[in-house]
Structures are given as structure tokens and as C-alpha cells.
Structure 1
């Protein structure tokens, strides 16, 4: 409800109704997911089932064994989503042929390095790496590391494929020790714990230089 005259706080109210979901509303992600799920379930095709299984919020991660099948997937998926008003507007692919098609339709991702579930995928080399993270480094005059900083650094890396499990597990064990020590969130760590915390932070630095090349094995 809004007042009819902004200059008169005693003016009568006017009632307005949103005809679309308000951007930023708490319910928006749920409504989006429910609408997409309903659309795909009602269609029931093979492509709809694939899309339903591989949608993560507003991204779709999928693929095909051959370039011909991939191009057909692009066409069918685009038409299926468009039939309900959804636009698959940006395609990232390691396929040169599909990239050409996406460029012609003005739907190609301009960046060859895209985010995929916490990882960075280089579509040119078909390799995965971890994004660069800047962690706070205590200065020589202010050596303050807290449990909050350690947890923040550990939680900032998402590792769905477990490539950096040795680093992550060690960091989580260290956090477990901090909880057992009953440290408060912003209480400075002891000298020994602080040294361990710095070591874990330093162990994250080389991660962006690691490259994992994608290999697809097709059973005969």
C-alpha cells in the first residue's frame, strides 16, 4: 500500500499488486525451482528428465558422448525451456561446433573460464582448477588469528570432487580441536594453534595452480 499523495502523509492509501515475483524476495528461489520442476515433470521427455537431474539453482551441468548428440541436446533443451518462458541464455562448452552455434545465437559464454560448483572450468583446455582465494594474513605487528578466521578460510573452498581432501580434512580436524578447546569465535589462538592455522592458510595458496584434466571413459 502506498499513499496517494507523497507530500501528504494523511492522504488515502492506494493498493498495488505485483504481477511478477519480486526480485530479492526470500521465496524467489523456491518459486523458481518449483516452477522449473513442474514444467519438466509435465513434459516427461528424456531431455526433461536430464535437465531436472542436472539443474543446480540457475545452472545446468550436463553433456553428451558425441558432438552430434550435444548439438541435438542444445536444440531440444533450448526449445523445451523456451516453451515455458525460460531462456537458456549462456552456453559454455568444450565443443567447437556447439560454440559456433551459440555464438550465432548470441548465447555463447564470453569467458573461457567458468564457475562449476565451486571449481573453475577452462573450456579451451577442458581442465578444472580451484579459484584464487585471498585469505587475511596477520601482519608482524598484529598476529591475531581467531577460530572465526580459520573456519572462514576452510569454508570458502567447495570441493565436491574431493581433489583437495587431504588439505580439507586436516583443516577440519584442526577446527575440531579449537572447538574442544572451547575457544570463543573471536578469541585469539594460542601461539602453537596460531602457527598451525597459518600453515593451513598457506596450504591453500598453491591450489589455483593445480589443473585436473577431464577424462571421459565410454564403456564398449
Structure 2
């Protein structure tokens, strides 16, 4: 074969190697920051990067597109929270919702499954709990429908996990109806968890105009009880 088969078990490894090799070969031809972010900021075929200024973002996006194009990769569906940066991207390469540069409000896009409001530069949640059977399998399916890879809303999801924990402790079958007590707790939780749609969290941790970072520390806290455990950074 002259090409790799899409969907093969080896595909993610091969594409990751090809990207890293492209970045390695570009050293000396492109700025180090571009090569480094190609190696570090891809998740399969999604590319996420943040820089300090619009001019830096425009140059970075241009060089990244060119570097990838030279190696057989075409990066499309570009989107930024700054209109000036969006306007610098060729229309055919922009995300579908930002092809019109005259947008009054920048749209909300999915970034690795998480909703990102480009206008306010915040992450948010869309809660759409479809009707599931009141069984252990149904509870697990409901929990899995709330996508939260960064754990921002873990405290709001913990009560449902505790219900599932209790059902496991009672050795309830996957498709057996859950007891009335747990059913009431689950109904209450489902009626309240939709409030997460008004929850917002800023993408950028630094205040506007913060300037250059000189020193940074990351602090981690953790605690546990018989009902659950958690950590915050």
C-alpha cells in the first residue's frame, strides 16, 4: 500500500508521527514556536493554541497552515475569539460559522467536545438529558451524556455518581428498576442539573493586559471521604 488506511488501529500513531516529523524537519525554516505547538498542541486532528496578541496569532496561523501544507496536511475550520484574526484566514479555511466576517456576535463552537463561546471567550455546557429507563444502565447512560473532560462541573455530577455507587452496592442488575428512594434522588438531580447551562468559565486564566508571565506555580488540592474523592488544581 502507498497510503495508510483510515481507521486502522495504527492510524493515530502514524498521523502523530507524521506531524512530529513535519515539525522536526521544519526547524530552521519556521519559528520555533510554530514547530513546538505542532508537536504539542494537536489532539488527533484538532489543533488548539493560545498566543498573546492578534499580530502574533495571525503570523502563527499563517506559518502553521503553510508548514502543514508543505507536508500534505490541510488545516481547515479555523476560528478565533478575535475578529481581526478570523479576517486574516482565507474564507475557505474558516469554520463554517465564521465565514461571514460581519457577524455581530461570534458563534459558539465545539472544541474537543466542549462548547466554547468565542464572543465571551468562555467555556459552557449544553445539558440535554434524554429520557432513559430508571435502571442502573439508564443512570450510567445519563451520566455519560454530560461531557466534562476538564472536570469543571464534577461537584454537580457527584450526586448522580453516588446514586450509581449505591445501586452497585445493592448488587442491582443492569436492567432492574431502581428502588424508589434512589429514583426520587435521581429525579431531583435531573431537574437541577440543567442549571449548568448558565454556568460559564473563562478560557484564559490571566486578566486582560496582564503582560508577560515571569513566574508561575501550580497548586493541587485533594480530599476524600467514604462517598467520593476529588482534586482541584
Say whether the fold is shared (TM-score over 0.5): yes
The partner residue of 1:101 within 77, 80, 88 is 88
Q: Distance in 2 between matches of 1:184 and 1:219?
A: 57
Q: Distance in 2 between matches of 1:110 and 1:123?
A: 14
- TM-score, reference length from structure 2: 0.75
Runs of 4+ deviating beyond 6 Å: none
Matched, 1:50 2:33: no
Q: Distance in 1 between matches of 2:20 and 2:145?
A: 29
Q: Distance in 1 between matches of 2:163 and 2:211?
A: 42
Per the alignment, residue 207 of structure 1 pairs with: 196
Kindly indicate whether structure 1 or structure 2 has the higher relative contact order, using CA contacts under 8 Å at least 6 residues apart. 1
CA RMSD of aligned residues (A): 2.1
Structure 1 unaligned blocks of 5 or more: 1-17, 138-143
- Shift in CA distance, 184/34, structure 1 to aligned 2, threshold 3 Å: farther
Per the alignment, residue 22 of structure 1 pairs with: 5
Per the alignment, residue 57 of structure 2 pairs with: 70
Contact 2:110 2:116 in 1 (8 A): yes
Per the alignment, residue 174 of structure 1 pairs with: 163
Per the alignment, residue 112 of structure 2 pairs with: 117
Q: Distance in 2 between matches of 1:79 and 1:157?
A: 37
Per the alignment, residue 38 of structure 1 pairs with: 21
Q: How does 1:187-202 map to 2 (within 5 A)?
A: 187-202=176-191
The alpha-carbon deviation at position 167 of structure 1 amounts to: 1.1
Contact 2:127 2:146 in 1 (8 A): no
Q: Distance in 2 between matches of 1:135 and 1:209?
A: 19
The alpha-carbon deviation at position 65 of structure 1 amounts to: 0.5
Structure 2 unaligned blocks of 5 or more: 98-106, 213-233
- TM-score, reference length from structure 1: 0.79
The alpha-carbon deviation at position 38 of structure 1 amounts to: 2.9
Matched, 1:126 2:121: yes
Contact 2:81 2:121 in 1 (8 A): yes
* Per-residue CA distance 1:22-58 (angstroms, 9 max, x = gap): 3333433332223223322444533121222211121
Q: Distance in 1 between matches of 2:160 and 2:140?
A: 9
How many matched pairs? 196
Higher alpha-carbon deviation: 110-119 or 85-94: 110-119
Per the alignment, residue 215 of structure 2 pairs with: none
The alpha-carbon deviation at position 86 of structure 1 amounts to: 0.5
